[in-house]
Chain A
Amino acid sequence: AQRVTQPEKLLSVFKGAPVELKCNYSYSGSPELFWYVQYSRQRLQLLLRHISRESIKGFTADLNKGETSFHLKKPFAQEEDSAMYYCALNTGNQFYFGTGTSLTVIP
């Protein structure tokens, strides 16, 4: 069963516009959620995790247990945000990754 769903494969926004990358998860236990990012020709790297409740590069993500969502948001997109974004769920036994959303920020 798909544990992590990222409904948008591709997302394009204009520079300066708000951006939201959606992530929904399926897990009956206490979830631990992450966002990973892969910039062009770079390695997959951690962007943020929900337990830190911090903002990284202007991005935030709030865990909504009622809606089982962990959407990634940024109020003003920048060109350097163009990348592949993966939502990930850690169940304590393994990580489940979504299929990713490719974000393009149009200048």
Chain B
Amino acid sequence: KAGVTQTPRYLIKTRGQQVTLSCSPISGHRSVSWYQQTPGQGLQFLFEYFSETQRNKGNFPGRFSGRQFSNSRSEMNVSTLELGDSALYLCASSLGTSGNSYEQYFGPGTRLTVT
């Protein structure tokens, strides 16, 4: 079956703009988690959605938001972009939430560059 897909794969934005990233989970998976990956910080958890509800949230400012649709697809939005938001944004899907210890399957990521 098809893996996790993320669009777009690459994005260049300027400071102050906003951006929306999309993630389509593996068919049947109801949980989607988002991570920010940077060379210095590694993978940092942004948020987790399950059945259209945000279940958990990492330590990121309110400029970072997300949502999940009824088909489990998820979007992540970053408003008022800052240079420090340049990173690889990874999406991972699983059958259940982190509380159920299901395996996470990662997408290829969206490379965001803020200039």
Contacts and interface: CB of A to CB of B under 8 A. Distances in A.
Given A43-B4, A99-B42, 7 more contacts: A32-B101, A45-B105, A49-B103, A94-B45, A94-B56, A95-B33, A95-B45
Interface residues of A, number: 19
Interface of A: 32, 43-46, 49, 51, 86, 90-100
A90 B3 contact: no
A7 B44 CA distance: 17
Contact-residue size bin, chain B (C-beta under 8 Å from the other chain): 20 to 34
B48 A94 contact: yes
B101 A86 contact: no
Contacts of B33: 94-95
B31 to A, nearest CB: 12
Contacts of B106: 43-45
Nearest to B107: A43
A57 to B, nearest CB: 16
